[in-house]
Copies of this chain bind each other. A is one copy, B any other.
Amino acid sequence: MPVVQNIRLTVDAVVFGYIPREGIVVLLIKRTIDPYLHSWALPGGFVLDDESLETAVTRELLTEAGVNINYLEQLYTFGLPGRDPRGRVVSVAYFGLVNPTNFKLAASSDAEDASWFNIKDLPSLAFDHATIIDVAVQRLRNKIRYEPIGFELLDKKFPIADLEKLYETLLDRPIDRRNFQKKINHLGILIAHNEKQKQVSQGRPAKLFSFNEEQYFKLKKEGMAFEI
């Protein structure tokens, strides 16, 4: 049993957001230290000896990008020797969802810059972060088949069309508007409001909805089969 190892541990966060007419975006920061100085990378860093992995991720997200996140889950641990030029570094990657309009990104001392990038148009990335994002995108695409998605990504009140467009973006195919509405209603996770959408587009303004949090999280916990 090797009592002394020469392995270090980091965490990285893949935080996704949804911007209605733009698509799925991911949070990246610009590095201020070597290696990969000035490269775009996932927010993350070394784990402190006495903090949990989750604490490490939320700490790094706050200090590097000014983002306070409420939904976070573990994604995968990347441990191939050689993935970091400094030596053996194993990274536990996390997966998060936020509504980008809730934050103004604050590139703090630890990062030169912080910004949202469309996942279809990513810059060249540090380390194996491109691979990590690939795995996270897969997870996101699978998630919508067995869990409701939207609460973390959309505004408090939204027209159903926004939710539908989110699903179309993730599934990368058109969905029948009317059948989608029926299925969502059947899940009982939406609350109708007596407000209408402000005139952002032409045509009849849509009713606004919000999520029934209790029902939403109940479904999320139990799992559901949601084939659109």
| Chain A residues proximal to chain B, CB less than 8 Å | 1-2, 5-9, 33, 45-53, 74, 76-77, 79-81, 88, 90, 92, 142, 145-146, 223, 225, 227
A81-B50 CB under 8 A given contacts A142-B223, A223-B142: yes
| Residue of B with least CB distance to A47 | B7
9 A-B interface contacts by CB (under 8 A)? A1-B33, A1-B45, A5-B46, A5-B47, A50-B81, A77-B92, A142-B223, A145-B225, A146-B146
Is A49's CB under 8 angstroms from B79's CB?
Answer: no
Per the bound structure, the CA–CA distance linking A145 and B46 in Å amounts to 37
Is B33's CB under 8 angstroms from A53's CB?
Answer: no
Is B74's CB under 8 angstroms from A76's CB?
Answer: yes
**B residues near A2, Cβ cutoff 8 Å:** 46, 48-49
Is B5's CB under 8 angstroms from A88's CB?
Answer: no
Per the bound structure, the CA–CA distance linking A163 and B35 in Å amounts to 52
Per the bound structure, the CA–CA distance linking A225 and B228 in Å amounts to 12
**B residues near A50, Cβ cutoff 8 Å:** 81, 88
**B residues near A145, Cβ cutoff 8 Å:** 146, 225
**B residues near A47, Cβ cutoff 8 Å:** 5, 7, 79, 90
| Residue of B with least CB distance to A4 | B8
Per the bound structure, the CA–CA distance linking A156 and B102 in Å amounts to 55
Per the bound structure, the CA–CA distance linking A48 and B7 in Å amounts to 9
- Output the least CB separation between A174 and chain B (Å): 20
